Chain A
Amino acid sequence: NAGVTQTPKFRVLKTGQSMTLLCAQDMNHEYMYWYRQDPGMGLRLIHYSVGEGTTAKGEVPDGYNVSRLKKQNFLLGLESAAPSQTSVYFCASSYSGADTQYFGPGTRLTVL
C-alpha cells in the first residue's frame, strides 16, 4: 500500500516549456486534489476532482490544466511554464470531500 505517490520529485523547466505531473493513489479514493505551496502562503488549491472523469477549479487554476481519466490517477499539466509557477506541488486524495486528505511527498518545480 503505497498511499499517494507523485512523479517526478524534482524538475527544472525553461520558460515556455510544458510538462505533466502525475499523481497516483491506491486507496480507491473518490476525491483528488492538486495544491501548490509557496513560502508564507500555506497551501493553495489549484484544481480538484470529485470522481473519475470530473475536474473543477480551485483557488489558483490559471496556467494549469488537469485530467482524471482513471480513478487512481490525477494529472496536472503546465502548457507554457512561467517563473511564477516555481513552487512545490502536492497531490492529495480523500474518500469524501470532508474527510482526511492524504498527501503525496511533493514535486519541487523550478521554472527559469
Chain B
Amino acid sequence: AQSVTQLDSQVPVFEEAPVELRCNYSSSVSVYLFWYVQYPNQGLQLLLKYLSGSTLVKGINGFEAEFNKSQTSFHLRKPSVHISDTAEYFCAVSDLAGGSNYKLTFGKGTLLTVNP
C-alpha cells in the first residue's frame, strides 16, 4: 500500500526567503508524484507532477520539485517566496500497481505562511 508523509505541518517564512516543503512516500512499485496547492476557501489545484523522465520538475508560480528514488522523497522548493504563496500544500502519490484503477493518496498537508 502507498503512503505519503509530509514532514512539517506548518512552515513560517519571511517574504523573499527560500522555502523547502518536505515529502516522503512509501510504495513497493513505481509511482507518479504530485504537489497540489490549496488557497484559503478554495479547492486544490495542481502545482506540478512527476510521471517519468527528468527528476527535476518545474511547476507554476516558480515552484520546482526533485524526485529522489533512493530516498523516496519529492521535496518542493521555491528560491524566493511571496506573500501570495501563503496556502496549504499537499503532496500526493499514485502507484502503478493493480490494473488501471490508480488512486491518489494525499499527505496531511503543510501550511506555508509567508510573513512580510
Residues of A within 8 A of B (CB): 4, 33, 40-45, 48, 50, 56, 58, 90, 92, 96-98, 100-101, 103-106
List B contacts of A40 (CB < 8 A).
9, 108
List A contacts of B102 (CB < 8 A).
96-98
Knowing that A97-B94, A103-B44 are A-B contacts, what are 14 other residue pairs whose CB atoms are under 8 Å apart, sorted by A's residue number? A33-B103, A40-B9, A42-B106, A42-B107, A42-B108, A43-B44, A90-B44, A98-B51, A98-B96, A98-B102, A100-B49, A105-B42, A106-B41, A106-B42
Nearest chain-A residue to B109 (Cβ)? A42
Residues of B within 8 A of A (CB): 9, 32, 34, 36, 41-46, 49, 51, 90, 94, 96, 100-104, 106-109
CA distance A104 to B106 in the complex (A): 16
Query: What are some 13 contacts across the A-B interface (CB < 8 A)?
Result: A33-B103, A40-B9, A40-B108, A42-B90, A42-B106, A45-B104, A96-B102, A97-B101, A100-B34, A101-B46, A103-B44, A103-B45, A106-B43
CA distance A16 to B51 in the complex (A): 44
CA distance A40 to B107 in the complex (A): 10
List B contacts of A56 (CB < 8 A).
101
CA distance A48 to B103 in the complex (A): 9
Nearest chain-A residue to B94 (Cβ)? A98
CA distance A50 to B44 in the complex (A): 20
| CB contact under 8 A between A50 and B100, given known A103-B44, A106-B43 | yes
List A contacts of B103 (CB < 8 A).
33, 45, 48, 58, 97
Which 6 pairs, one residue from A and one from B, show the smallest C-beta to C-beta distance? A97-B102, A103-B43, A42-B108, A98-B102, A43-B106, A103-B44
B97, chain A: closest CB distance, angstroms: 11
CA distance A45 to B106 in the complex (A): 9
Inter-chain contact A104/B32, CB cutoff 8 Å: no
CA distance A103 to B51 in the complex (A): 20
Inter-chain contact B46/A100, CB cutoff 8 Å: yes
A74, chain B: closest CB distance, angstroms: 15
CA distance A104 to B38 in the complex (A): 11
CA distance A79 to B111 in the complex (A): 34
